[in-house]
Amino acid sequence: MSDPQALKQEILRLTREYSRQVHGPFRPASDPERKPWKAGTTIPYAARVFMEDEVEAAVSSTLDFWLTLGSEGAAMEKELAAFLGVRHSLLVNSGSSANLVAISALTSGKLPDTRRIKPGDEVITVAAGFPTTVAPIVQVGAVPVFIDADPITGNARCGQLEAAYKEGKTKAVMMAHALGNPFDLAVTLSFCRKYDLWLVEDNCDALGCCYSMPRPLAESLGFSENSPGLDEGPDRVVRWTGTWGDISTQSFYPPHHLTMGEGGAVNIVRHQKLKVVAESFRDWGRDCWCPSGIDNTCNKRFGWQLGELPEGYDHKYTYSHLGFNLKPLDPQAAIGRVQLRRLPEFIKARKQNWDTLRRGLAVHGDLLEFSLPTHATAWNPEYGFSWDATGCRTDCSWFGFKIGVRPGAPFTRTALAQELDRNLIGNRMLFGGNLLRQPALAQLRQDHPEAVRVVGEMDGADAIMNSTLFLGTYPGLTSSMLGKMLDVIVSYCNSMSCDAT
Ligand SMILES: Cc1ncc(COP(=O)(O)O)c(C=O)c1O
């Protein structure tokens, strides 16, 4: 075969064929060609879910061999921004990098002096969660100020924000929507508006979550538009999480709502200036914004005088920030683009799987405590959730199914985790539990007590650390896998209850 294009097509045809033959267990549970789960094998808490389209996209882009972020990356950035309805999305190589870029952007000298985060300024965050929501705050020389988390929602106790505020010091709030459950955005945004603070939403575990408010409240906070494709009628504003703050982050590591292997994104919700500075921090700290391989986008490559450099110094090698290089590869973006097309189906599956687990475990509500979405007050198998009087609502795109073991139960969370392990059922703790108790933070506080501030007791974060775990809700879980998960937990609760009586 001498025509290179025909050769490529043949390689891609064979690639698809290969993938269909070997990747059967990774297809979405809803796909008719999905290989059934074999009893006696592991049920992971999460996994890559993909088909031959993703493998073809990766191979096709690899054959083109541009490698560094290029046309696939630019297309994915546009498609993700359009899905969310934000001004820009910038791809990075992980969710942790996204958090680092997001908070670094807020330190830029290009921002108004009263608002930029300077060394020693404070950023309010939450004690329970993933370490790289917090680490970048320290890495930019700011002080993380910890508030507690609520064991039922897994989220920050936003009522403590006021107590954490320090005039002249607090510059931002940076928190995650825990396990796909939005934190209280109404309270957090009101707080941020009152004191003119940035809000960074770590949306790494929450792509596809919605938060809605009565329209007058939303408008008072500066939001009148729904996110694309969302609508709860004229009296409400409904938007994806990750689109309420100033800047938000995604992870595309395999357990997340979509994957590119390693990867992530920084979403710039509104301010163009934040795009320019976030991109600069991602791309070595440079002042120039030419895509890779392109010169002179600004039309005055040799026409700048910045810093103490001589007039006309090459803009391509002019650095306005002490940046990083955190870009992913173009073949990763090619995979991500296919995954993005599956996102609505993935979100639906995560919700359904959560519901199946909730119904199946309801019988043991005396021993186990289940998550409630923020603003929900109760769950009922017939009517679903009931809601508090705020008028705010959440619709969760669950990262996991969180279970708390109640204080009087005849077993501990660790015993339940061990039982799940014995039965090859994937389970995880809510990441770092109370992060303040992690060796890294204990060491930091010992070495530099002023590097961290803690507001009140962290009983909720301790309860999360001591009494909860979570199961998977990912779209690769088939009904027989979910059935096995339920069987194991229900049988264990039954047997432990019998032993106790
Ligand atoms: C809330 C949260 N933020 C950030 C991250 C980091 O993402 P990554 O693993 O892509 O670095 C994670 C990872 O799971 C996470 O759960």
Dist. CA 51–CA 13, nearest whole Å: 14
Per-residue model confidence (pLDDT) at position 480 = 97
Mean pLDDT, range 342-348, rounded to an integer = 98
Does pLDDT of 1 surpass 90?
A: no
Indicate the SS3 state at residue 393.
Answer: strand
Indicate whether residue 248 lines ligand 1 (CB < 6 A).
Answer: no
Cβ-contact 121, 339 below 8 angstroms = no
Dist. CA 457–CA 455, nearest whole Å: 7
Mean pLDDT, range 56-77, rounded to an integer = 97
pLDDT class for 80, splitting at 50, 70, 90?
very high
Question: pLDDT by residue (tens digit) across 331-344?
Answer: 999 999 999 999 99
Per-residue model confidence (pLDDT) at position 292 = 79
Indicate whether residue 176 lines ligand 1 (CB < 6 A).
Answer: yes
Question: pLDDT by residue (tens digit) across 27-56?
Answer: 999 999 999 999 999 999 999 999 999 999
Dist. CA 79–CA 115, nearest whole Å: 30
Indicate whether residue 264 lines ligand 1 (CB < 6 A).
Answer: yes
pLDDT class for 243, splitting at 50, 70, 90?
very high
Question: pLDDT by residue (tens digit) across 249-262?
Answer: 999 999 999 999 99
Dist. CA 449–CA 351, nearest whole Å: 42
Considering the chain, what percentage of its residues have pLDDT values greater than 90?
A: 98
Dist. CA 436–CA 457, nearest whole Å: 11
What's 451-501 look like in SS3? HCEECCCCHHHHHHHHHEEEEECCCCCCHHHHHHHHHHHHHHHHHHHHHHC
Instruction: Residue 91: name the closest of 370, 361, 283 by CA.
Output: 283
Q: Which atom of ligand 1 is nearest to the CA of 399?
A: 16
Does pLDDT of 313 surpass 70?
A: yes
Instruction: Residue 404: name the closest of 396, 393, 416 by CA.
Output: 416
Beta partners for residue 404, in sequence order:
369, 468
Question: pLDDT by residue (tens digit) across 19-28?
Answer: 999 999 999 9
In order of 94, 292, 325, 448, the CA distances from 98 in angstroms are: 6, 20, 12, 26
The values of phi and psi at residue 125, to 5°, are -145, -175
**409 DSSP 8-state letter:** S
Does pLDDT of 365 surpass 70?
A: yes
Per-residue model confidence (pLDDT) at position 296 = 92
Domains of the chain: 71-289 (3.40.640.10), 343-500 (3.90.1150.10)
Q: Whose CA is nearest to atom 7 of ligand 1?
A: 95
Query: Could you tell me the two tokens for 434?
Result: 């109370």
Query: Would you call 256 a catalytic residue per the annotation?
Result: yes
pLDDT class for 182, splitting at 50, 70, 90?
very high
Indicate whether residue 96 lines ligand 1 (CB < 6 A).
Answer: yes
Q: Which atom of ligand 1 is nearest to the CA of 132?
A: 4
pLDDT class for 498, splitting at 50, 70, 90?
confident
- For the chain, give the longest Cα–Cα distance: 84
Determine how many CB atoms are found less than 10 A away from the CB of residue 310: 6
Per-residue model confidence (pLDDT) at position 255 = 96
Mean pLDDT, range 209-213, rounded to an integer = 98
Per-residue model confidence (pLDDT) at position 501 = 67
Considering the chain, what percentage of its residues have pLDDT values greater than 70?
A: 100
Dist. CA 318–CA 314, nearest whole Å: 7
Q: Whose CA is nearest to atom 5 of ligand 1?
A: 95
Indicate whether residue 103 lines ligand 1 (CB < 6 A).
Answer: no
**Burial of 496 (C-beta count, 10 Å sphere; 0-12/13-18/19+):** middle
Beta partners for residue 175, in sequence order:
201
Annotated catalytic residue within 88, 177, 256, 321: 256
Question: pLDDT by residue (tens digit) across 138-161?
Answer: 999 999 999 999 999 999 999 999
Per-residue model confidence (pLDDT) at position 70 = 95
Dist. CA 493–CA 486, nearest whole Å: 11
Cβ-contact 200, 171 below 8 angstroms = no
* H-assigned helices in 149-295: 161-164, 185-195, 215-220, 272-282
The values of phi and psi at residue 172, to 5°, are -160, 160
* H-assigned helices in 2-84: 4-22, 52-64, 71-84
Average pLDDT of the chain is 97
Dist. CA 292–CA 302, nearest whole Å: 18
Sheet with 393-395, strands from edge to edge, namely 236-240, 210-214, 393-395
